[in-house]
Amino acid sequence: MAGEQGLGRQQTEKALSGLRDLVLKGEIAAGERLSEVLLAGRLKVSRTPLRAALQKLELEGLVDLIPSGGYQVRRFSQEDVIDAIELRGVLEGTAARLAAERGVAPAKLKAIHDVVRKLDEAFEPAPPDMDFERYAALNGRFHALLAELSGSNLLVRELERARRLPFASPNAFVGAEGHARAFQQTLIVGQAQHKAILSAIELREGSRAEALAREHARLARQNLDFVLQERPELKDKVAALALMAG
Amino acid sequence: MAGEQGLGRQQTEKALSGLRDLVLKGEIAAGERLSEVLLAGRLKVSRTPLRAALQKLELEGLVDLIPSGGYQVRRFSQEDVIDAIELRGVLEGTAARLAAERGVAPAKLKAIHDVVRKLDEAFEPAPPDMDFERYAALNGRFHALLAELSGSNLLVRELERARRLPFASPNAFVGAEGHARAFQQTLIVGQAQHKAILSAIELREGSRAEALAREHARLARQNLDFVLQERPELKDKVAALALMAG
DNA sequence: GCCTCGGAGCCTGTATACAGCTTTTGTGTG
DNA sequence: CACACAAAAGCTGTATACAGGCTCCGAGGC
């Protein structure tokens, strides 16, 4: 039954999203070897698209190639998580600096200002009733638009890649806000930083824009440290940390 | 004749290096669609490892996926080249900063100092007789070791990726030195910067180390501008620029 | 003359068969 | 009881067959 569906890269997409889910939800332990036949059966695809998905996941950094053959789920140390956050900060800082240095088209500025305004509105309901999902969507959009402000296709690509690691996502800790008041405060600080970054870009203050964007990513680092040092029981509540060892 | 060779990923490796050569040497024009059957025949592999190689090349950024199916050679604009150099500078700057901030094991420092000394020795023959190939190898090693000094596996990976784009390589313009005295001077300046970067790292001056490493990458930018503005006829002599449009 | 529609060829995405390497298990020996 | 070795099972990497789109061309209509 070759080409049963036949259209596009449908099976590969199915294998990719399915496999990504399995890894991200921790249903496959870190370091575990990934059997192609087993996974193919589980995901209801043949080995060919499954192997394609494995290769893509390798590029995303979720799985590692085993020298003797095959793949295994990548192990992330605490240092890896810290570095991934740092890296996102560096890249977003570069995006902000380039935007400031090179200038930004008014239309793009308007679009990102709109997002910031909507983020403000998302704060209006009292904290317990806040729609975190909506906030996360808008926050993600802010960061995507920030990358675009740089005017660099290359940087947009790199940032898309960097954000794929779940704990490096700007929303890594947003889901857990319901669990700790400290997290909610970081949202407020974060939104203030959003505005400061935009202001720096508009004033063409490249160095300030870069520093602010870097600091903004450090909020995630702060949340990470908070979880690890003061509330280790929250670790399981933050899905993004499922992959982290220790 | 399934599994004719059978060992490891030999065919994939063959397809990957062969295909990369074809693209890098400009034997396939930018924007051209890549026919799998044609290429498979040309490289003497079957379509399966060829497709694997195509996917890897997509991750390297040399080919683009066509939405309707298949791949094409990626087009690089002048801006892309500039941004790739900038990105390498940012990442190497981060590596240098982290090395300074976090400290470096003496053994690693010794290793990179050795490379710097050998680079000095490579300058001893009079410029026309200089062994550029040896210089490029040592220079590449310096940059690889610099990444390792950061102590961040993630950053090492990212820098390996970033350097894959030929024009973003630290050696992008080294091959062309024979063609212009101006290039030779950049080698001298570059070596001085190597030493300054190491000094900053040893003194734990993170900010200085970062700025220096960024500036070091800008040598490539300088060479690029020199070629484009003053000696356009050299463009064909720099293999790394073969992929650039215009 | 330009646009729309249809068909033929080509091409990609997918499934599957096969062979050699890796790993593991079980047995025999020191 | 530990270790070495051998056989077998499982697995991956590779080749290839197949089917459904996609592309391009030409014919027909407005």
Which residues does chain A have within 8 Å of residue B13's beta carbon, measured at their own beta carbons? none
Same domain, B66 and B96: no
CA→C1' distance for B68 and C6 (Å) = 21
Which of the two residues, B29 and A143, has the higher pLDDT score? Answer: A143
pLDDT given at position B233: 84
Q: How far is CA A137 from CA A118, A132, A171, A214, B195, in A?
A: 11, 9, 9, 21, 46
Nearest to B154 among A84, A98, A152 (CB): A84
Q: Are residues A64 and A143 in the same domain?
A: no
With a cut of 90, say whether residue B197 has pLDDT above it. Answer: yes
Last residue of a domain, one of B73, B107, B135: B73
Please judge whether A155 and B87 are an interchain contact, meaning their C-beta atoms are less than 8 angstroms apart.
yes
What pLDDT, on the 0 to 100 scale, is given for residue A1?
45
Query: Looking at A48, A73, A98, which one is the last position of a domain?
Result: A73
What residues does B244 pair with on adjacent strands?
Answer: B76
Gap from A49 CA to C3 C1', in Å? 40
Q: Are residues A109 and A26 in the same domain?
A: no
**Residues listed for chain B:** 246
Both A35 and A120 in one domain: the answer is no
Nucleotides of C under 7 A from a protein CB: 10-23
B60–chain A Cβ distance below 8 A for any pair: no
The pLDDT value given to residue A11: 94
Per-residue pLDDT at B2 exceeds 70: no
Span B205-215, average pLDDT: 98
- CA A5 to C1' D28 (Å) is 33
> Where is pLDDT greater, at A205 or B131?
A205
Of the two residues B128 and A239, the one the predictor is more confident about is A239
Mean pLDDT of chain B: 91
Q: How many domains does chain A have?
A: 2
Q: DSSP 3-state helix, strand, coil percentages of chain B (rounded to 5)?
A: 70, 5, 25
A186 and A110 within one domain: yes
Residue of A nearest to B65 (CA): A9
Distances (CA, A) of B69 to A46, A101, B66, B72, B217: 19, 38, 5, 10, 37
Q: How much of chain B, in percent, has pLDDT values that exceed 70?
A: 93
Chain A interface mutation, best of B10, B158, B167, highest count of A Cβ atoms under 10 Å: B158
Local structure of residue A76 (DSSP, 8 states): B
For chain A, 246 residues long, the average pLDDT of each consecutive 10-residue run is 54 96 92 95 96 95 94 95 98 98 98 97 78 92 98 96 94 74 84 98 98 97 92 84 85
CATH at B33: 1.10.10.10
Instruction: Please tell me which of the candidates A8, A56, A90 has its beta carbon nearest to residue B90.
Output: A90
Q: Does A38 share its domain with A146?
A: no
Place of tokens 């296709």: A153
Say whether both A66 and A116 belong to one domain: no
Q: Exposure of B29 by Cβ count < 10 A (0-12 exposed, 13-18 middle, 19+ buried)?
A: exposed
Contact B59, B25 (CB under 8 A): no
CATH number of the domain enclosing A93: 1.20.120.530
Pairing of strands A63-65, A71-73: antiparallel
